[in-house]
Amino acid sequence: MGTTAIKEVDKVVIKFAGDSGDGMQLTGTQFTGTSALLGNDIATFPDYPAEIRAPQGTVAGVSGFQVHIGQAHIHTPGDSPDVLVAMNAAALKANLRDVAKGKTIIIDTDNFKRKDWEKAGFADDPLTSGELREYHVIEAPMTTLTRTALEGLGLDNKSMVRSKNMFALGMVYWMFSRPLDYTERFLKGKFGKKPEILAGNIKALKAGFNYADTIEAFSSASAVLPADMEPGLYKNVMGNEATAWGFLAAAEKSGKELFLGSYPITPATDILQELAKHRHFGAKVFQAEDEIAGITSAIGAAFAGDLAITTTSGPGLALKGEALGLAVMTELPLVVVDVQRGGPSTGLPTKTEQSDLMQALYGRNGESPVVVVAAKSPADCFSMAFRAAKIALEHMTPVLLLTDGYVANGSQPWKIQRTEDLDDITPHEADKSMQNWQPYERDTASLARYWAYPGQSGYEHRIGGLEKDELTGNVSYTPENHEKMTYVREEKVQRVANYIPELEVDGSQEGDLLVVSWGGTYGSTLTAINKCTAQNKKVGLAHFNYIKPLPKNTAEVFSKFKKILVAELNQGQLVKYLRGELPQFTYQQFNKTQGLPFRVVELNHAINKTLESN
């Protein structure tokens, strides 16, 4: 870097956006990884196009990656970018409304010809119409400069153009005083066997860095100092990755082999792919031909004594409903992961939504209760996957773990856990010393039946979907027995409340308003509450990881506040559940169904409006 001054900033939000083939996800991931190595706290939000092959240059085909880095603790990927890198006109059109006036927009002018801005939906050329006059716009012919930098390397035109994302990354590295070493090492690992491609990408990266150092558009570079993190070894993890690792840890702590039976579906497939990498840990992964085969294979593995898991998204959960009822009837430990996306039907496959809570709670025939839990952040996916497995194995019940597209694809620093520091998991197994064992004999505290596997002498029993005798497990059509078993299955789930943490409150512990949220909205709601606290407002946050059963102190927490506002990314599914479970309280709602996470400014507006209302 030259003699340009460097100024320190507390945090910055950057969004890389372009066509789905422009490598924006890779570019954003590299900036994130480099910043993590420098000690910044991080939150990311990859935004994929919903269409597999949307027409090039259209808004529908824009792929984006937003990253928020800071010296202070970061809980969200940011409401709006401080820097938008727009690789074409469609990327500018798709994201301009989110960029505040006065912020920086870096534009690849090579992709702003008339045909480009017309296809993107601009009435006039945005570079000359005055539409961008209130922004700090840096126009750079990145495609042309990349081609020029790579001349003589023997690359074809397509390969040279594909390296322009490294040119853009180099520019942003200069802007925020990031070193190139991390990305150079990554490129050597990725393209080590393709020397021309490797040389082209590294040269484009350095060319972008040097170009930013020489143009007068940048008055200074910025530096974000390391965050004050709890001491320990950290890794930047995506939510799906952390989910897979949580299950591996649970298998290790329980002494069980892990079996995953799943069918690929966006945005849950990465869990399947991640677990497939870890056969050396004893993980068995079966890619089934459909969703029903996925869950029924997992039920078979549970019957055989494995930690059994199946993963899906909303449409797949609908298909798994009948078999999930079988797991309820047989009272086998099973974890079902639902990575939620927008619906109904195919809906918004690559966009986030908290749209499946009602389906998780009630989406089966008959009285079919399961435990429902939710992860609140990418790193928390590890903890909640571990907890879901622990509950399933110790209480002999199916557990439904809800994440969502935002949590699953987002990333944040995760403090690596030592296996010996994790809670013990003790599967509720039939003891060899038990005399006159019966298949539906239960523990008096938890009501969990005792788990016995095929091949264990003296523990032979029948199992299936027909109603069971309360003790022997034989088929029973007795009316009184069916009613009793219906109550027992529900009570068994409710008694899990004795084994989960009580509900905690962030911000004010009592006062004017309690904001209630669940799942992946935690980062946004917590940031909004922190702003209220800084303004001396008596506002608290009750965020639910455990939904069925509710934590035992939920009513006590709710009673300490004058008003309750339930914020969720649907049309009011948790609030309907709360009105049924705790009808003594009055609830107000704030809902959003745009396929996007909450913005903090939206939440603070809703909070202030609720505080002012009568």
With 0-12 / 13-18 / 19 or more C-beta atoms within 10 angstroms meaning exposed / middle / buried, residue 455 is exposed
* Tens digit of each residue's pLDDT (9 = 90 or more) over 253-270: 999 999 999 999 999 999
Please tell me the distance from the alpha carbon of residue 440 to that of residue 495, in angstroms, as a whole number. Answer: 17
**Chain position carrying tokens 């799942």:** 519
Contact 509, 560 (CB under 8 A): yes
Contact 42, 68 (CB under 8 A): yes
pLDDT at 461: 87
Mean pLDDT taken over the chain: 94
Q: Which of 111, 110, 79, 109 is nearest to 95 (CA)?
A: 79
What is the arithmetic mean of pLDDT over 90-116?
96
pLDDT at 340: 98
**Residue 261 in tokens:** 């039976």
Per-residue 3-state assignment (H helix, E strand, C coil) for 200-236:
HHHHHHHHHHHHHHHCCCCCCEEEECCCCCCCCCEEE
Query: Which of helix, strand or coil describes residue 104?
Result: strand
24-37 vs 164-175: helix crossing angle, rounded to 10: 30
Q: Are strands 307-312 and 334-340 parallel, antiparallel or unpaired?
A: parallel
Q: Which of 342, 296, 308, 238 is nearest to 594 (CA)?
A: 342
pLDDT at 219: 63
Q: Grade residue 523 by pLDDT with cuts at 50, 70 and 90.
A: very high
pLDDT at 153: 93
* Tens digit of each residue's pLDDT (9 = 90 or more) over 36-82: 999 999 999 999 888 777 888 999 999 999 999 999 889 999 999 99
**Residue 90 in tokens:** 């469609």
pLDDT at 291 over 60: yes
Residue type, 283: A
> Running DSSP on this structure, what letter comes out for residue 450?
P
pLDDT at 1: 47
**Residue 43 in tokens:** 């939150």
Q: Which of 520, 581, 511 is nearest to 549 (CA)?
A: 581
**Residue 372 in tokens:** 């429902």
Please tell me the distance from the alpha carbon of residue 454 to that of residue 452, in angstroms, as a whole number. Answer: 7
- Residue 472's CB: how many other CB atoms inside 10 A? 14
- β-sheet with 136-140: strand ranges across: 41-47, 62-70, 11-19, 83-86, 104-108, 136-140
Please tell me the distance from the alpha carbon of residue 569 to that of residue 485, in angstroms, as a whole number. Answer: 35
Please tell me the distance from the alpha carbon of residue 461 to that of residue 473, in angstroms, as a whole number. Answer: 7
* Tens digit of each residue's pLDDT (9 = 90 or more) over 145-167: 999 999 999 999 999 999 999 99
**Residue 271 in tokens:** 């869990």
Contact 169, 30 (CB under 8 A): yes
Query: Which of helix, strand or coil describes residue 189?
Result: helix
What is the arithmetic mean of pLDDT over 381-394?
98
**Residue 181 in tokens:** 């070493």
What is the arithmetic mean of pLDDT over 356-367?
97
Contact 62, 24 (CB under 8 A): no
Q: Are strands 62-70 and 258-262 parallel, antiparallel or unpaired?
A: unpaired
Which range (92-106, 217-231, 258-272, 373-387) has the least confidence?
Answer: 217-231
User: Across-strand partners of 69?
Assistant: 12, 42
Which range (16-20, 224-228, 489-493) has the least confidence?
Answer: 224-228
pLDDT at 2 over 60: no
Maximum C-alpha span of the chain: 86
**Residue 351 in tokens:** 């966009």
Please tell me the distance from the alpha carbon of residue 487 to that of residue 410, in angstroms, as a whole number. Answer: 40
Please tell me the distance from the alpha carbon of residue 223 to that of residue 125, in angstroms, as a whole number. Answer: 34
**Residue 175 in tokens:** 């802007």
pLDDT at 225 over 80: no
Dihedrals phi, psi of 151, to nearest 5 degrees: -60, 140
Please tell me the distance from the alpha carbon of residue 321 to that of residue 504, in angstroms, as a whole number. Answer: 32
The structure's pTM equals 0.94
Contact 278, 248 (CB under 8 A): yes
**Secondary element (H or E) of residue 225:** none
pLDDT at 220: 64
pLDDT at 229: 81
pLDDT at 216 over 90: no
Please tell me the distance from the alpha carbon of residue 340 to that of residue 359, in angstroms, as a whole number. Answer: 11
Residue type, 284: K
- β-sheet with 371-374: strand ranges across: 284-287, 258-262, 307-312, 334-340, 398-404, 371-374, 546-548
Contact 2, 141 (CB under 8 A): no
With 0-12 / 13-18 / 19 or more C-beta atoms within 10 angstroms meaning exposed / middle / buried, residue 494 is middle
pLDDT at 410 over 50: yes
Contact 411, 377 (CB under 8 A): no
Q: Which of 478, 481, 461, 486 is nearest to 470 (CA)?
A: 481
pLDDT at 223: 81
Domains of the chain: 6-224 (3.40.920.10), 235-421 (3.40.50.970), 505-612 (3.40.50.920)
Q: Is 396 left (phi over 0), alpha (psi -120 to 50) or beta?
A: left
* Tens digit of each residue's pLDDT (9 = 90 or more) over 450-462: 999 888 888 888 8
573-577, Cβ contacts within 8 angstroms, sequence gap of 24 or more? 573/354, 573/355, 573/357, 573/358, 574/354, 574/357, 574/516, 574/518, 574/544, 574/547, 576/358, 577/357, 577/358, 577/361, 577/547
Per-residue 3-state assignment (H helix, E strand, C coil) for 543-611:
EECEEECCCCCHHHHHCCEEEEEEEECCCCHHHHHHHHHCCCCCCEEEECCCCCCCCHHHHHHHHHHHH
